[in-house]
Chains A and B, each alone.
Chain A
Amino acid sequence: MSLSSSAARPTAGSTARRSHSGLLQAWLPKLVLAPSAAISLFFVYGFMLWTFVLSLTNSRMLPSYEFVGFAQYARLMANDRWWVASTNLVVFGGLFVAICLALGLVLAILLDQRIRQEGALRTIYLYPMALSFIVTGVVWKWLLNPGLGIQAMVRSWGFENFRFDWLVDPDMAVYTLVIAAVWQASGFVMALFLAGLRGIDDSILKAAQLDGASLPRIYWRVVIPCLRPVVFSAVMILSHIAIKSFDLVVALTGGGPGYASDLPATFMYAHAFTRAQIGLGSASAMLMLGGVLAILIPYLYSELRSRRHG
């Protein structure tokens, strides 16, 4: 092997050089990791701290460092638009996660019945995940346009009284976000579940079948409990997508009508970048981080623990 040829000729003078280069070799991995570690330290942890500091100031158009304690958080709590955004996140996130899980699980189970053209169907179910949320938003905005979209189409079929104008209805606009987001992400959940199903030991199923259990019963009592780790990861990933949802809102509803379909992410952007409320925007960003941490810490904890054991 050519690898050894250069190093396998120890000569008298090379010992000193070798220990010197050995020292370098011992440090090289750390040197290689150092820039990334520094970047992570500064741009992730440093910036989080920085945003926290900004959230304690009265910064408006430009960052100022005049501290006002937790006044921005108090303002946030008294801000109606923030409450609308947070409530929307609970509604949107809850429905989005639940529907994606249900749809993904059903599709995965159905696809797992030795289906012809399974590959093609899987490709079709999953492709929206490759799109930008902006594209998704633009398309669904067109589909949900009351005058020209689905409503108009169904009416032209003869159902004159058909109404599907959620996009312009302040009470319903947030549900259009759910529809589009489910369309985009449910195929991905299907893929997760399908991988999980394929990983289940066949002998468990055979044993259950020999016991005379019916197919739905086997799924309900044996298969689905086996998928618990997949459900867990899917919930993590989906709620993470929900909290970060920004592009979809911008493209589909623009947060409207009014601010009826605002989410925390759009609230933060609007206040920090267009409404010259940097302090308030920072406070809302910190609360978003808190939300993510509340989901993430149990997840990471269990991941790291199982890795150590496995």
Chain B
Amino acid sequence: MDNVIRRRTLGARLGRAMLYAVLLLAALFYLLPLAVMLITSVKPLAEITPGTLLSLPREPTLVPWVKAWGEACTGMRCEGIGVYFFNSIAIVVPAVLISTAIGALNGYALTKWRFKGSELLFALMLFGCFIPFQVVLLPMAQTLGWLGLSSSRAGLILVHVIFGIAFTTLFFRNFYVAVPTELVSAAKLDGAGFFRIFWRILLPVSAPIIVVSVIWQFTQIWNDFLFGVAFSAHNTQPVTVALNNLVNTSTGAREYNVDMAAAMIAALPTLIVYVLAGKYFVRGLTAGSVKG
């Protein structure tokens, strides 16, 4: 008896050790690319060819970061990706705010002011979440031309708002469905209007879903490449397009450390948001995919 228990605990211990070993191995797999990116980005170019991916820099340097930010060539121009980083910010901030505001109002109207056909309308709008954007690229290019917004930041903002509201509406609609209707009905009986009820009853409880929506839209738009590459010119490109150009520019020797520094710069904003607000990020990802 005693023996059996001892063997079991030994086996269990071995099992636990295996368990942790596998989990740590998996963690290494996910961390390795980030580690390599970071190490390479602070390595002098002279150390790259003789060294290996994981050899630590003997003389760490921030020169690649400085170069990536302000000097590296992206296509014809050599002004780094800093300019494009600010392009991305100028596109992302208004697009996120506008699409979130519209989504909040839509979700509110769809749940607290139901009318005949409102569910159908929601289903029709939801479809916009799923289409492959290739199917709208060509008409969009032409429409932006007609609007005089070709290759402009305003045009990109418009595109991101248009194709973002399907998601933000979904978020707010699913959130507001769970907000008790009694309070809203009482306020309606008291004669409070549409916007007043929204402002005084719904908005004060909306903080979590606003965070989810803002983070989702921020990540989506910051990471967008397709719209960015299709609808921008050299001076309005977002940072993802600039990064791709930088890496594929074939003038002179490949500066891998600068490439990695540029990739880090492009990745940092969404990474920081993820680290600071991971919980909300996950909630946005799983919204609509896991019921309840």
Interface residues of A (CB under 8 A from B): 3-4, 6-8, 18, 21, 25, 28-30, 32-33, 35-37, 39-41, 43-48, 50-51, 54, 63, 103, 107, 110-111, 113, 115, 121, 123-136, 138-143, 148-150, 152-153, 156, 183, 187-188, 191-192, 195-196, 199, 229-230, 233-234, 236-237, 240, 243-244, 246-247, 250-251, 254, 264-265, 268-269, 272-273, 278, 281-282, 284-286, 288-289, 291-292, 296, 300, 304, 306, 310
Contacts and interface: CB of A to CB of B under 8 A. Distances in A.
Given A32-B194, A54-B138, 9 more contacts: A130-B274, A133-B225, A134-B225, A183-B29, A247-B225, A264-B134, A278-B138, A282-B138, A286-B135
B132 A265 contact: yes
Contact of A304 (B123, B229, B244): B123
Which of B136, B219, B256, B273 is packed against the most chain A CB atoms within 10 Å? Answer: B136
13 contacts: A3-B200, A7-B190, A43-B143, A54-B139, A127-B271, A128-B30, A131-B270, A135-B263, A139-B37, A148-B48, A150-B53, A247-B240, A250-B244
Contact of A48 (B105, B131, B229, B290): B131
Contact of B226 (A25, A141, A196, A246): A246
Interface residues of B, number: 97
Contacts of A25: 193-194
Nearest to B266: A135
Contact of A110 (B23, B110, B113, B140): B23
Nearest to B103: A36
B134 A39 contact: no
A124 B191 contact: no
Contacts of B230: 269, 273
Interface of B: 19-20, 22-23, 26-27, 29-34, 36-37, 40, 48-49, 52-54, 102, 105-106, 109-110, 113, 115, 118, 121, 123-128, 130-140, 142-143, 162-163, 165-166, 169, 187, 190-196, 200-201, 219, 222-226, 229-230, 240, 243-244, 247-248, 256, 259-260, 262-263, 266-267, 270-271, 273-275, 278, 281-282, 285-286, 289-292
Given A3-B190, A44-B127, A132-B222, A285 B289 contact: no
A310 B292 CA distance: 10
B162 A138 contact: no
A285 B223 contact: no
A292 B131 contact: yes
A44 B128 contact: yes
A262 to B, nearest CB: 13
Nearest to B241: A134
A63 B70 CA distance: 39
Contacts, number: 271
Is chain A's binding surface mostly helix, strand, loop or mixed? helix
Contact of A3 (B49, B128, B196, B259): B196
